[in-house]
Amino acid sequence: MNSFSAVPLEDHMRKEARKAPPLHILSYAEMEAMPEPEWLVEGLIQKRSTALMFGKSNSFKSFLAIDIGCSVSTGQPWHGGRTAQGKVLFVATEGSVGVGRLRIPTWFDYHSMSIEERENVHLFPREIRLDVVDDVSALISSMASIGTFALVVVDIFGGSMAGSEIEDKTARAWVHGIQRILRETGAAILTVAHTGWQDDTRARMHTHFWGSFDSRMRVEGDKEALTSTLTIERHKDADSTGQWGFRMTTTGGSLVPVLDDAVKPSKTSKLSVKQRTALDALDDALVFKGVTRQGTEWPPCKVVLVEHWRSRCYTHGIADKDTPEARKKAFQRIRNALQDKGIVRIYDEHVWRCF
């Protein structure tokens, strides 16, 4: 008797029944007919996408996030940009009492919204673990019991996971959780995060988090002047431009952003366009080729061979002329500049981001 005939028929049938249904792979015609991305907030956040808003403490990120979320909930244009109205869930991982009792109501009062116009806003008032499957399931189920949501605002990023924000395992589980929420609820997700300790050009998080967002926007604020700017750093599927200046109006014991074209970033960017392109290339290289090294001389994050970074930079385009010599000189110039600024570090032919 061979090994196959030794398996009971009932067991074989049960195994067949447990097989997953076949995946639907798109044909060329179906691929070409895929719908174009639609804006939830024109120029800012697309429907069914993930967005990151990052900046230093006291740059008024949370007030801008409330401004965006409440605009979506009412369908009111966001400072001239159209919005697609829908339910909005604020996940306040810290300061939830102030958010729920003061900041959100103050925004509605300032804009003279009726009680009926406030019904699309909902609040989850504590930390949540989006890297834990059961917690993600509970959130999706709770949202479904209320209705269809257009936007989920997670503020602040550090309070939305069980693990560490610099661990690869946590990053992958968190991104899977976010993608599942997006897929099963249809809501866009806006995450608010702090910048790195030594690098204010990106959020304080593992590279896998950083590279996963469809849109990234940087916030700079002046606490004393009560001003803030929001700049689009990247849209994966749209033109990556857009910058807004705001003056924070004090009202009702809180702050509300008011558009002010006179407000400009204190520094348009500490990095040139080519330097930012090189950092995007480094992020890609870290995701696909990054490794962890042991020893006191190595950082607690992933590193990647300089050669892999250089190759990605050439693919992204960092030189004005597409010649080997121009690319080589451009990479060397950008590499040196980023090292001098303390944004990257190189050791033993490996490079990494400094946080």
Model confidence, pTM: 0.77
Lowest-pLDDT range of 21-35, 166-180, 195-209: 195-209
Q: Judge contact between 331 and 344, C-beta under 8 A.
A: no
- Structure confidence by residue, pLDDT tens digits, 241-274: 899 999 999 999 999 999 999 998 865 456 787 8
| Cα-to-chain-centroid distance, residue 77 | 22
91 vs 102: CA distance, rounded Å: 15
For range 191-206, the mean pLDDT: 78
What is the rounded average pLDDT of the residues 54-72?
A: 96
Nearest to 306 by CA among 349, 267, 276, 344: 349
Residue 3 has pLDDT above 60, yes or no: no
* pLDDT number for residue 319: 86
Using a pLDDT cut of 70, give the percent of the chain over it.
Answer: 92
Q: Is a pLDDT exceeding 70 seen at residue 136? A: yes
Q: Which residues contact 331 (CB under 8 A, 6 or more apart)?
A: 278, 310, 313, 314, 318, 319
Q: Check residue 4 and give its pLDDT.
A: 45
- Mean of pLDDT values over 95-120: 97
Q: In angstroms, rounded to a whole number, what is the distance separating the alpha carbons of residues 106 and 103?
A: 5
